[in-house]
C-alpha cells in the first residue's frame, strides 16, 4: 500500500501528491493519505474520476483516507 503523508504541507501540495500517487496505483491497489484536515476538494476529484475512499479522523486531528480505483463498468 502506498502512503502519502501530507500533514502540514501547504495547499495545493497535498492534492498534487495524491494525484501523482494515483497515477502509479494499479487496479486493486490502495493508497492511504494522512493529512491534517479533511480534504473536501479531493473527495470531489475522486468521485469524478472513478475512485472510492473511506475517511477516518483521529483524536490528534489527523485524517486518514484510504483510496482505491473503481473497476470499469
* Residue ranges making up the domain that contains 37: 2-69
Per the CB < 8 A criterion, the answer to whether 67 and 55 are in contact is no
What value does the mean pLDDT take over residues 24-44?
95
What value does the mean pLDDT take over residues 7-25?
95
Q: Given strand 2-5, what is the order of strands in its sheet? A: 2-5, 30-35, 63-69, 51-57
What value does the mean pLDDT take over residues 36-48?
96
Per the CB < 8 A criterion, the answer to whether 55 and 38 are in contact is yes
pTM over 0.85: yes
Q: Tell me, what CATH number does 20's domain have?
A: 3.30.110.40
- What is the pLDDT confidence band of residue 67, given thresholds at 50, 70 and 90? very high
Contacts of residue 30, Cβ cutoff 8 Å, sequence gap at least 6: 1, 2, 66, 67, 68
Instruction: Please tell me the total count of domains within the chain.
Output: 1
Amino acid at each position: 500500500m502506498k502512503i502519502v503523508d501530507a500533514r502540514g504541507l501547504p495547499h495545493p501540495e497535498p492534492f498534487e501528491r495524491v494525484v501523482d500517487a494515483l497515477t502509479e496505483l494499479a487496479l486493486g491497489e490502495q493508497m492511504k493519505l494522512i493529512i491534517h484536515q479533511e480534504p473536501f476538494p479531493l473527495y470531489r476529484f475522486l468521485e469524478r474520476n472513478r475512485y472510492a475512499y473511506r475517511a477516518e479522523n483521529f483524536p490528534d486531528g489527523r485524517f486518514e483516507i484510504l483510496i482505491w480505483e473503481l473497476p470499469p463498468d
